[in-house]
């Protein structure tokens, strides 16, 4: 014992104490032991009693970031950083091996392999420490103004036993509640601790007594986390978050106060919170860099994300969405230069973040405007923010969304393929020429843009039908391949589809040239041929007759150029085995020629069909075209 703090060995469960407790519980209508398989669940009266047990919120202390830093292979430090003053409050060397948790003016973290240390948040001074029993593995911890609660799991034996243990602020163990099966990381809020239990339940326990107050059993999905905020308890799994309230008694998603973040894309993972059962998430890791940031509150009988905003963090990027709309309209995006952001949190008015190279910064939640970061020079492994209500310091300019998305798409960092596709998707939803120009830039890029993002950019470019960008497309189609000039047209297939969708007839000469250019990729020929047919401007409903000169009007050179190119393609390559694997360019061109051409063209096509060395798929296709309609 030192300075009134105690080092405690775990004590044996007191059977006498349990007996007394059970008698007391029986009198209150809940006779079962905590985590009993026979405890009732989804009972409204239990939930109401639990909600009454939670004490009112107190004042918040200083906005702090607790940083775990590395100085060498074995050297770790815990650094408390005052966000308001933008300076280090205290630091000490300690072998931190878990995420830091906070509450009631204390912080706690695992130290080394087998101890949990509780410190004074203001000074870092150790208040007490608890040692895990041999064979126990740390699962997680939570603090409120009166207790530390932590969960351990015993690895020995055939039956998995997990235990939640409550320790008062002097380090004295108050109670412990063992459970058969898995418990997840706890969350505590002023007198109540909530613990995920067997992947299906959230058990709410009286912090003073260890008595189970209520149990929510989810019937629609696994419940993997519980989170405590000033707005109450929230729990959930993969699909979204549930507020702990009367409606929790339904156990269903539909019957509960439930919300999910709609991001309008399946390209990014929507992880709502740390999986309380995952040992790998006990420490700071990749999950901390790749998750949804949210705060929520009940409203009008439903659940809303605070300010109707959820923020997706993906390593170096943030995307803020309007959570109210079903397609996840993007409000702003932020791309952090060069290095990963190891942790971030939503404070209510800001997104605070810490970068791996020691910068601590924030973004305005409403606009994404970055505030000037503070450089600590530390090598940060992970961070926990206790910064509710912190709004950031300093002012920054609101970033241009299109430019930010462009920056993300063209980020040379090759790790973020899915995020780049996501950014392309978001760009596609932006109106106006600048967004179209960036999509086109992505399509034409020779390097730096993943193929999937490039493909998606092409699809969106075509779908946008941005009439204001016709000239941009025409300019992009203008150059031919030239090794001497180091010029290599890209995305000709996408451009062909885009100008076709926009009915840009001025593109025909360029398309005709690309159709017959040997440098045009084979895969692009079909789209080019189809675009030429579409843009030919041929008379609708043309029915060729004897002596007919075709669907092109007499002075329509555009139509004639298209027809000539299609004709040359068919005749030049009709017997070229290189088209055997994919004869589509030839069949599309042949069909176009059949539609646009006059009597002479059709006879020539019939010759193609009959000539013995013509590729069989083409010959058959033209034969079908020649058949009178049934």
Partner 1 sequence: MALLRKAFVFAASMGFAAPVFGAGVAEAPSNIDALRLLLGASDENQAVEAAGKLAKSNDPEAVEALLDGLAIGAGPRVQAALIDGLAARKDARAIQILSFYAGTRNVEVRRRAVTALAGIPSEKVVPTLLERLGDAAPEVRQAAASGLAVRREKSAEPRLWKLLLRKDPAAPSALAALATPEMAHKLSELLGQVPDNLIVQAFGDILKRPDFGPDPVRLEIVKTLAKIPGVDSTTTLIEYVAASEKDKARPSRAEAQKVVDDRSGGQ
Using CB under 8 A, list all residues that contact partner 1.
Answer: 481-487, 516-519, 522, 564, 567-568, 570-578, 600-601, 603-604, 606-608, 610-613
**Torsion (CA) 174, 116, 58, 30 in degrees, nearest 10:** -40
> Which lies closer to partner 1 via its Cβ, residue 407 or residue 561?
561
Least distance in Å: CB of 616 to partner 1?
12
> Which lies closer to partner 1 via its Cβ, residue 126 or residue 582?
582
Q: What is the DSSP letter of 482?
A: B
For residue 459, the tally of other CB atoms under 10 A from its CB is 16
- Give the contacts of 616 (CB within 8 A, at least 6 positions apart): none
Least distance in Å: CB of 614 to partner 1?
8
Least distance in Å: CB of 532 to partner 1?
16
Least distance in Å: CB of 472 to partner 1?
25
Least distance in Å: CB of 70 to partner 1?
46
CA angle 399, 402, 404 (to 5 degrees): 50
Distances 363 to 65, 345, 369, 395 between C-alpha atoms, Å: 15, 11, 5, 9
> Which lies closer to partner 1 via its Cβ, residue 313 or residue 614?
614
Report how far residue 132's alpha carbon sits from residue 117's, in angstroms, rounded to the nearest whole number: 11
> Which lies closer to partner 1 via its Cβ, residue 378 or residue 589?
589
Report how far residue 131's alpha carbon sits from residue 46's, in angstroms, rounded to the nearest whole number: 34
Distances 364 to 343, 347, 395, 471, 501 between C-alpha atoms, Å: 16, 10, 9, 38, 40
> Which lies closer to partner 1 via its Cβ, residue 287 or residue 481?
481
> Which lies closer to partner 1 via its Cβ, residue 420 or residue 514?
514
> Which lies closer to partner 1 via its Cβ, residue 96 or residue 622?
622
Report the half-sphere exposure of 166 (CA within 13 A, side-chain side): 23
Query: Which pair of tokens denotes residue 629?
Result: 């309609």
Least distance in Å: CB of 480 to partner 1?
8
Report how far residue 416's alpha carbon sits from residue 448's, in angstroms, rounded to the nearest whole number: 11
Query: Which pair of tokens denotes residue 317?
Result: 């990027």
Least distance in Å: CB of 566 to partner 1?
11
Query: Which pair of tokens denotes residue 337?
Result: 């230069």
Least distance in Å: CB of 550 to partner 1?
11
Q: What's the burial of 266, exposed, middle or buried (CB within 10 Å: 0-12/13-18/19+)? A: exposed
Residue 251 in 3-state DSSP? coil
> Which lies closer to partner 1 via its Cβ, residue 272 or residue 579?
579
């Amino acid at each position: 014992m030192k300075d009134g703090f105690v080092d405690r060995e775990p004590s044996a469960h007191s059977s006498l104490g349990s007996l007394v407790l059970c008698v007391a519980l029986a009198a209150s209508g809940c006779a079962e032991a905590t985590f009993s398989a026979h405890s009732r669940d989804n009972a409204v009266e239990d939930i109401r009693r639990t909600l009454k047990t939670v004490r009112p919120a107190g004042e918040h202390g200083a906005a702090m970031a607790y940083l775990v830093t590395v100085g060498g292979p074995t050297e770790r430090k815990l650094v408390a950083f005052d966000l308001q003053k933008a300076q280090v409050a205290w630091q000490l060397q300690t072998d931190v091996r878990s995420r830091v948790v906070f509450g009631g003016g204390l912080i706690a973290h695992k130290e080394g392999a087998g101890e949990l240390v509780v410190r004074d948040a203001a000074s870092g001074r150790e208040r007490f420490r608890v040692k895990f029993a041999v064979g126990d593995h740390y699962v997680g911890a939570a603090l409120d103004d009166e207790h530390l609660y932590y969960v351990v799991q015993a690895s020995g034996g055939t039956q998995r036993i997990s235990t939640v243990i409550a320790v008062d602020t002097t380090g004295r163990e108050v109670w412990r509640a063992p459970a058969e099966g898995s418990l997840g990381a706890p969350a505590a809020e002023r007198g109540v601790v909530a613990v995920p239990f067997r992947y299906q339940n959230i058990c709410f326990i009286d912090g003073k007594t260890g008595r189970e107050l209520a149990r929510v059993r989810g019937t629609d999905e696994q419940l993997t986390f519980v989170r405590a905020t000033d707005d109450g308890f929230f729990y959930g799994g993969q699909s979204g978050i549930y507020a702990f309230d009367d409606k929790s008694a339904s156990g269903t998603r539909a019957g509960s106060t439930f919300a999910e973040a709609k991001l309008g894309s399946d390209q990014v993972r929507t992880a709502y919170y740390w999986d309380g059962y995952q040992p790998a998430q006990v420490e700071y890791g990749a999950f901390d860099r790749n998750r949804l940031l949210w705060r929520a509150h009940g409203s009008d009988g439903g659940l809303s994300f605070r300010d109707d905003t959820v923020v997706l963090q993906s390593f170096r990027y943030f995307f803020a969405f309007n959570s109210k709309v079903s397609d996840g309209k993007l409000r702003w995006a932020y791309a952090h230069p060069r290095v990963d952001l190891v942790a971030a949190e939503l404070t209510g008015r800001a997104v605070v973040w810490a970068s791996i190279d020691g910068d601590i910064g924030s973004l305005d939640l409403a606009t994404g405007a970055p505030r000037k970061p503070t450089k600590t020079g530390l090598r940060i492994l992970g961070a926990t923010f206790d910064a509710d209500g912190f709004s950031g310091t300093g002012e920054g300019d609101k970033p241009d969304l299109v430019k930010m998305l462009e920056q993300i798409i063209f980020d040379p960092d090759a790790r973020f393929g899915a995020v780049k596709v996501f950014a392309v998707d978001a760009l596609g939803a932006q109106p106006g020429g600048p967004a179209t120009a960036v999509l086109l830039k992505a399509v034409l890029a020779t390097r730096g843009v993943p193929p999937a993002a490039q493909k998606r950019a092409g699809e969106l470019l075509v779908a946008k039908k941005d009439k204001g960008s016709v000239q941009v497309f025409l300019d992009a189609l203008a150059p031919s391949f030239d090794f001497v000039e180091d010029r290599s047209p890209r995305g000709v297939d996408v451009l062909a589809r885009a100008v076709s969708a926009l009915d840009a007839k001025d593109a025909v000469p360029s398309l005709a040239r690309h159709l017959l250019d040997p440098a045009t990729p084979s895969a692009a020929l079909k789209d080019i041929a189809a675009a030429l047919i579409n843009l030919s401007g041929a008379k609708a409903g043309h029915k060729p007759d004897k002596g007919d000169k075709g669907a092109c009007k007499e002075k329509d050179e555009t139509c004639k150029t298209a027809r000539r190119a299609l004709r040359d393609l068919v005749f030049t390559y009709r017997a070229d085995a290189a088209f055997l694997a994919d004869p589509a360019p030839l069949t599309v061109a042949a069909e176009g020629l059949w539609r646009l051409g006059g009597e002479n063209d059709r006879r020539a096509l019939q010759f193609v069909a009959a000539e013995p060395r013509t590729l069989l798929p083409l010959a058959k296709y033209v034969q079908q075209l020649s058949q009178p309609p049934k």
